[in-house]
Amino acid sequence: MSISIKGLNKTYANGNKALKDINLEIPTGMFGLLGPNGAGKSTLMRILVALMEPTSGEVNVFGHDLLKDRKEVRRLLGYLPQDFRFFAKYKTHEFLDYAARLSGMNNTRKRREAVDQMLESVGLFDVRERYANKLSGGMKRRLGIAQALIHNPKVIIVDEPTTGLDPEERIRFRNLLTAVSEQDVTIILSTHIVGDISSSCKCMALMNKGEVAYYGSPEEMLRQAEGKVWRIQIMGDQLHEIDKKYPIISTIPSGSGWEVQVIADEIRGYDAEPYPPNLEHAYVYYMESKLNQWIIDN
């Protein structure tokens, strides 16, 4: 295991318990951390990158105790925070160069090559002279991942990387991460967007209200949702009724009525047929049935 987290708790000064006894083993490869807003994902991420101190618990990163030997842990990390919008007055390549220097790349020539290469690979080489503040949202995020990757870290922590991106950028960003995950690194991807947990995620955790609700592979989670997703054809005036009875995943207008996908162990009294679940269905099912909570995807 590359990272192991034991009995991690975080209580904020205002008494808010953000993390409650988190135990996680994170293997090499891409690790998805899924959960609704406010589930404690970012708190966990910030503790993992040593920006925040846990109230109690242990974190071990590649054999280093995060609480005692932050310097060693920091050497291994690349981090892209959730919010990554406002820059000091640096040019794109300067920002990357600064990050590179701080991670110990002291050889000027090598560093310059690495920076150029990284800019090339994230598609920012053409805008390298542009002030980072003037980049578009997607470009900023790419610059973010570039600075997290520039020094070839063993652990890359990306917090909600696709939020606010347009679909094209989102796909591009997922591909970029997938490409990185091919290498021998650990990527921790925190997201509340189920679609971000791609097939390359071998392991994942679902967090809710500061607790780990699910830990395992995405396939296993999918498997647990099998037979629990139904498609119902209803008339227009029945929608309200259905909504009261079952968690609705999607509604599509069809003819004079609706085609509704819902989560349920079984359906009675409607024209329903089982539907093969995807990860999103599984997530909803999980949240609904296990935790009795309904969330709205954006």
**Residues contributing to the site for another protein (CB under 8 A):** 49-53, 67-72, 74-75, 77-81, 83-90, 94-95, 98-99, 101-104, 106, 132, 144, 147-148
- Cβ proximity to another protein: between 147 and 191 the closer is 147
CB of 78 to another protein, least distance (A): 8
- Cβ proximity to another protein: between 105 and 249 the closer is 105
Q: Choose among 160, 249, 277: nearest CA to 207.
A: 160
Q: Choose among 75, 120, 55, 63: nearest CA to 93.
A: 120
CB of 6 to another protein, least distance (A): 17
Strand partners, 211: 208
Strand partners, 11: 17
- Cβ proximity to another protein: between 67 and 291 the closer is 67
- Cβ proximity to another protein: between 86 and 244 the closer is 86
The DSSP H or E segment spanning 57 is: strand 56-61
CB of 104 to another protein, least distance (A): 7
Region of residue 183 (left: phi > 0; alpha: psi -120 to 50; beta: else)? beta
Query: Is the Cβ–Cβ distance between 186 and 148 less than 8 Å?
Result: no
CB of 9 to another protein, least distance (A): 17
Q: Choose among 59, 65, 42, 57: nearest CA to 9.
A: 57
- Cβ proximity to another protein: between 65 and 220 the closer is 65
CB of 63 to another protein, least distance (A): 16
- Cβ proximity to another protein: between 57 and 144 the closer is 144
- Cβ proximity to another protein: between 25 and 69 the closer is 69
CB of 103 to another protein, least distance (A): 5
Query: Is the Cβ–Cβ distance between 196 and 162 less than 8 Å?
Result: yes
CB of 61 to another protein, least distance (A): 12
Query: Is the Cβ–Cβ distance between 131 and 153 less than 8 Å?
Result: no
Region of residue 15 (left: phi > 0; alpha: psi -120 to 50; beta: else)? left
CB of 156 to another protein, least distance (A): 11
Q: Read off φ and ψ for residue 295, nearest 5 degrees.
A: -125, 155
For residue 274, give the 3-state DSSP assignment.
strand
Alpha-carbon distance 112 to 132, whole Å?
18
Q: Which tokens go with 120? A: 């090339």
CA distances from 184 to 3, 11, 27 (A): 14, 34, 11
- Cβ proximity to another protein: between 108 and 183 the closer is 108
Q: Choose among 36, 37, 44: nearest CA to 18.
A: 44
Alpha-carbon distance 53 to 127, whole Å?
37
